[in-house]
Amino acid sequence: MNNLVEKFEKKQIVKLTSKKNIPTFRSGDTLRVTIKIVEGERSRFQVYEGVCIARKNNSINSKFTVRKISHGEGVERVFYLFSPIIEKIEVIKKGDVKRAKLYYLRKRTGKSSRIADRDRGEEANQYSMTESQEPIQDATQESDEVSEELENIKHEDTVPKEEKIVKEESLNKPVSEPIAEEKKPAEEKSESTASEAEKTKDETRS
């Protein structure tokens, strides 16, 4: 069951990351996240820039938290890494930190909240855009197969126990019984032919 879910999540990740690049980043980096906002029939892009203070890797449910100071107030926003509303993620600065969660920044302002820069060199994208759409089609087909398997497993679990017992009894019945029943009419026919032959012999003798 777990393997099916993992396969399905991997195919969905491939599908969601096929048209955009997701760079490698960690907590302490300054990010610029471009979000697509739909208002009625119109859509626009909004940029949210801040420091990544936390990141959680959980397959398709991966998410990260970005914090910024807006008009003297700290604002935090949680984004799902593979959300379709995220148009682009850019890494502006790479921070030098020794923690995975930077929640201590909530109590700091000014210079004490600054994070030193660190040059980690050029890093490859965590997920890069795929130009061809063939793997996407394969992923959708395999995801459909996985969903069918999941439905079959659910259907088997929902079948009542009484029906399962009846099916097992029908499968466990010996095969010799119907064969013996089939032989009975053949034996009757052979006996009738033997009696007819004896009658014909008696008639010829007389």
pLDDT the model gives residue 162:
60
Which helix (H) or strand (E) segment is 48 a member of?
strand 42-56
Give the bridge partners for 83, in sequence order: none
Q: Which is it for strands 86-93 and 63-70: parallel, antiparallel or unpaired?
A: unpaired
Question: What is the pLDDT at residue 202?
Answer: 64
What pLDDT, on a 0 to 100 scale, did the predictor assign at position 163?
A: 60
State the pLDDT at residue 170.
60
- Residue (of 52, 56, 55, 82) closest to 67 by Cα position: 52
Give the pair of three-digit tokens for residue 157.
């679990």
pLDDT at site 137: 46
For the chain, the domains span 2-112+127-146, 163-195
Residues of the chain with pLDDT under 50: 132-137, 139, 177, 179-183
Domain formed by 2-112+127-146, architecture: Roll (2.30)
Q: Is the pTM of this model over 0.85?
A: no
Given this model, what pLDDT does residue 119 score?
87
pLDDT of residue 165: 61
What is the structure's pLDDT at 134?
Answer: 44
